[in-house]
Amino acid sequence: MATADPSPTTSAGATGASSGRADPFIGKTIFDAQYEIQERIGAGGMGAVYKAFQPEMNRFVAVKVLHARLTGRQDLAARFRREARAMSHLSHPNTVRVLHFGEIEEGVLCIVMELLEGKNLHGVVRSSGPLAPARALRIVAQAAFALDEAHLSGIIHRDLKPENLFVCAKGPTSDFVKVLDFGLAKVSPREVGPESIQLTKEGMVFGTPEFMSPEQAQALPLSPASDVYALAVILYEALTGKLPFDARSPNDFLKMHASAPPIPLDERVDGLKFPKALVQLVDRALAKRPEDRFPSAAAFGDALLALANEISLPSSISLLPASASAPPVATAATSEGAAAKLPDLRGSSETDSEPISRGQSGIRQRSVPAPELAAPPPAPVPVTAPRSAIPSYVLFFAGLAIGIGAAALLFRH
């Protein structure tokens, strides 16, 4: 199974890595020899991810193992179980599939899920710069539809960020999205069991500060609109390479999400302009009050896809009501073709360093230089002399008749 990414990310969201030390899980068979663990492909703070083979189904899978030293941490073990149980209720094609969950030995928990190869959305933007609007809209729309299924099942993700949107190839689609990591999802006690109740209490803040909704930042009750807000922040960053706020600490982000207006999309990067309909869509999804956002993740996804289709056309129109609409400004960023013309817009040296875990060990504030997106001057229109409204043959015969008449008059005299 080839991968186009030299540092692949797995379905568990950890960057590929290997270790010089002998790994006790490599070569091990688990769950009654259903899976044969072959290699470690990722590692993170909570555990490691392995590539395994399932002989009976003739396929490779990913095995996410919680570090043995953390199994005594009730909160982390509960989060691990929460992730498996939440995803086991979901079947949307844009949600990563969980195949098995349990203990592979005493106290060692693991989740078996589908194996993905590609990059998370943060990696995509970091390597290629801000995305063409239509591409960004379609990527986020897929996540919105996946989340709508979760919302209908009573599950709110609560930790959406570009690192949890995995972009891979599937058939003819090169930007197929999988939503990852429901470890902080808010679900009902019936769905997760009594050991996870401590993670569902109101008045506690969970998630990544850069992408929290205003109500989440204030530890208020959450709703599907909270995930819609987080998706809007993700879309904003995919379009500009920057977040909607300039902040220096997690607390600053929480305060700004709660009360400060976001930096307008059209003003975030010098020289980078967007269709008016896109600016209005982002503004609506980033509204401070949940009721002012889209009524559901599905409605948000529908609006994203519709707008993506419109701005892919040579002449696009606003999708908002006539009273609020206006023809968008045509720029090089309004078509998919502009994606191939964008330069490599990598960020600062901090951006190109090892990724920082957001909201934990630091704030990853990315800065992407503005692309040269000046529209080419219009082609000159050829100017031609005005043409007579009388056909040329009429003028010819009229002149001939006048000449004959004049000759006859002279002959008489």
Unique residue bearing structure tokens 């307008």: 264
- Give which of 156, 233, 164, 161 is closest to 202, Cα–Cα: 156
Residue 299 has a CB neighbour count (10 Å cut-off) of: 14
Catalytic residue among 32, 75, 148, 159: 159
32 is catalytic: no
- Give which of 403, 399, 379 is closest to 390, Cα–Cα: 399
What's the CA gap between 146 and 163, in Å, rounded?
A: 16
Region of residue 406 (left: phi > 0; alpha: psi -120 to 50; beta: else): alpha
Sign of the alpha-carbon torsion through 180, 338, 348, 16: positive
What's the CA gap between 107 and 103, in Å, rounded?
A: 7
The radius of gyration of the chain from alpha carbons, rounded to an integer in Å, stands at 29
Instruction: Check: CB of residue 214 under 8 Å from CB of residue 229.
Output: yes
What's the CA gap between 152 and 143, in Å, rounded?
A: 14
Measured in degrees and rounded to the nearest 5, phi and psi for residue 338 equal -65, -20
Region of residue 27 (left: phi > 0; alpha: psi -120 to 50; beta: else): left
114 burial type by CB count under 10 A (0-12 exposed, 13-18 middle, 19+ buried)? middle
Helix or strand or coil: residue 353?
coil
What's the CA gap between 162 and 211, in Å, rounded?
A: 9
> Between helices 276-285 and 297-311, what is the axis angle to 10°?
170
End-to-end Cα separation, the chain, in angstroms: 107
Q: Kindly list the catalytic residues.
A: 159
